Structure 1
């Protein structure tokens, strides 16, 4: 008999929509820049690059405090407050008239969204067992490519018909409304859920408790943070994020630069990589949970993305459609490993430090996101082409794949655990 099946249709849809709204409010900036925002606010290419990446600087600084609060107090309350805050800031982006105000809003948007990802992962780890965790994480992170998929098409039409200001306003308000749906529908832990039977509550809590038997608690966060495994996971995710957000934030501009390309066509074409991303994420998470071999569902995808960007560099701007096909492949491969990767963290770390470690790893990922989105925009502006950007993303992903091979030693989390506490 399947363990408490009600968890899947009660918890997963809510976290999926919540993370979708968070991702919407960070990814639509790239469309605004391609759709006239830079001209209206007299932004240079350097300023556009800074603003696209500034979100991740705010995101970087507040990851660990948010993760600690979620792990030791309440992920539910933290996400509720974040929803209201980021919805208001996203809508306010559509009302700015100067770059200085926009700088403050972009930074603060990163601050209020910083705890969402680690808080969500911690919440899911309190609801889903090791054999379910990669799939549960994937349904959460699917909010990312699914959102960009429909947002790419919708934003193109919205900017074309109403302008970039109304795009921000209309895409920001739903976050505020959804906060109250979240508060009503989500329970912190199985023991709090009135919609589970007492037997189901007991079975889920017992299995989650049993998984921690044999994983020796780490004395404190500092001991975990100094471990070779955590340090390498941080570096791996930082490099991976350089590729992801260099791609996400600047794909609309890359496509828009093609001959005879308008913002509506740009929106449609920008959505295509995320169709492959959804298929890749679902497949990788399914087989990762079936085999519990996380490693093999992470590094090969990162290598494929690296080679795809390098191929786009070799082709140059004169072969747009072949380069676009490689970008589609890169986009799909970039997203596929997310579920297995975050399952690795929950599998190998003791529960008493998992929250802080997730926050640390995600904060370094935010630093990589800042670097990727800024450097790709900077290189595009300085060189007048995307060649240098392709090389940057390709190399970052290649090293990320190599680190994955080194750090994730075995499908058996008990063996990996020895490296953490040594």
Structure 2
């Protein structure tokens, strides 16, 4: 199948991303990579300059956006985790990241906000359109304090600086300013900061706050100094979440400790929540197995006598998962904007593309309607990554990042979870994927 730069998708149901049922028997006209018109077939007129693509019985919706991924190129299991990732050559990881981004594309995600070194350069490769891939909204590595969430203390600081993929160490306001400016120099579209720990290592328990308010405000001020740059805040405990909101961070990542008062503040401020539900709710099943103390061979522990004898049993895991679900539902009830983000980190633990689709399913499982989840994955995620003027909906003037589906995606979350329902994928109006195969 060959489709040129000017075409019309005819007799389709349109799911525009703003909610509600499909508008049936529509024509979507695309010229030079942008949506030129969306109109009923009764109003459509044949134009010799337009290639007509009859698609009776199909549906068109915006390409989905994963607002939180790590195109790290790493490969690790539960036993070695990040240690295995950082031990491999950077060039190997960079090459693998191309495959990772393309797997997202095959599952209907035409844009991804990435936190890794690789994304800074993947965005340039895919923009050249020599290789098919999604739009990469690049953060580069997130700002982490020494000993923080993205620091791997089993390696020397110099080795981590040279070979780490998710973090750049920045302590104090001067280092934060320098790091933000350096990332912007490298082409970062957004800045991530690890405001809390994340339970990866003994130094970074998710109940700890890792930056002072001065440091956090400095990060936001410096990022926002360059117009259009957004700040995403890894924040897992209530204190860290509220600090990030008060400092002016644009999105809260994970945020599994939100109560009604904090949700109301987020809604007033327009702060977007990226809850990464699939990962957080299943953290003690997929990442840190339950059943007693953490064994040193799994998590080499610098603070053996501080935490080693704390039991993490089934009851503990259930309470943690339940809190994440309650936090998400509290935020939703308060009117907090919610975007889709999978936090895909490396295979085989989180398979690229599949994990993003699992996050879509999780949004519905824990409280959204399927139509609301589509809005989260399109309109709101476009806002979360700073691209709402160009992406996220099927309407004139937007870039033609489009999915053509065999079934109505609003009827059941499994429609979008099942990649076989995705017939065609367009990026900037260019046919990119046909039935799961890259088209160019």
TM over 0.5: no
What is the TM-score with the length of structure 2 in the denominator?
0.26
Question: Larger helix proportion, structure 1 or 2?
Answer: 1
Q: Which has the higher contact order (CA 8 A, sep 6+)?
A: 1
Question: Larger strand proportion, structure 1 or 2?
Answer: 2
What is the TM-score with the length of structure 1 in the denominator?
0.27
